[in-house]
């Protein structure tokens, strides 16, 4: 006596199709998840080329700024952002270093530093002047007679500028640099 199969051929074919459909669906889900992870792991931030272009624009803006371009300001670009500096692991940055003078000013050392700090913070923060940095102030240094430090960033492009404000010449000592980015 031949045993009757529990499932007929049509049932087996249906189950195979369902399993293949599920496996196919599962494979599509796995591929979709892998694609999403791959996209998310890619850097959506700036490229080195974009950051360098912005830093070079800032160097030109320094040189053409109505205050800093005056002879009395004695603007000096000490390092132009024209060479890559290795950060390791295939990443590089560029640096801009400059100095400038606020010029003669009367009043106490503290009031001269206050004025020089305000002028530079305003210059860096104003997008219509060409810079458009986000300037962070540190209220703890307000009455320091030895100097002040201004930190300004353009997060979206990966730039940071640190300006030291000194009572002696040169009043402003600027260092701007890109983040460490792949080429």
Report the chain's C-alpha Rg in angstroms: 30
Q: Which two tokens stand for residue 95?
A: 């640096």
Half-sphere exposure of 128 (CA within 13 A, CB side): 0
**Sign of the alpha-carbon dihedral angle for 59, 62, 64, 70:** negative
The answer to whether the pTM exceeds 0.85 is: no
Report pLDDT for 139: 79
For the chain, give percent helix, strand, coil, nearest 5: 40, 25, 35
Reading the chain (183 residues) residue by residue, the pLDDT tens digits are: 555 545 555 654 655 555 455 555 555 554 454 444 444 445 578 999 999 999 999 999 999 999 999 999 999 999 999 999 999 999 999 999 999 999 877 889 989 999 999 999 999 998 887 799 999 978 777 777 889 999 999 999 999 999 999 999 999 999 999 999 998
Cβ(62)–Cβ(75) below 8 Å: yes
């Amino acid at each position: 006596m031949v045993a009757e199969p529990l499932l007929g051929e049509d049932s087996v074919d249906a189950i195979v199709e369902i399993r293949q459909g599920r496996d196919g669906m599962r494979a599509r889900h796995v591929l979709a998840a892998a694609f999403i992870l791959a996209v998310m792991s890619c850097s959506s931030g700036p490229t080195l080329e974009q950051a360098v272009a912005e830093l070079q624009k800032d160097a030109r803006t320094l040189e053409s700024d109505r205050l800093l371009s005056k002879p009395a300001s004695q603007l000096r670009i000490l390092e132009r952002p024209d060479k890559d500096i290795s950060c390791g692991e295939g990443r590089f940055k560029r640096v801009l270093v400059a100095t400038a003078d606020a010029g003669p000013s009367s009043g106490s050392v503290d009031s001269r530093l206050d004025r020089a700090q305000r002028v530079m913070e305003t210059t860096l923060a104003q997008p219509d002047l060409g810079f458009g940095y986000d300037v962070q102030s540190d209220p703890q240094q307000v009455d320091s007679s030895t100097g002040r430090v201004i930190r300004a960033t353009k997060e979206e492009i990966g730039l940071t500028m640190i300006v030291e404000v000194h009572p002696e010449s040169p009043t402003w000592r600027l260092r701007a640099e890109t983040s460490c980015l792949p080429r």
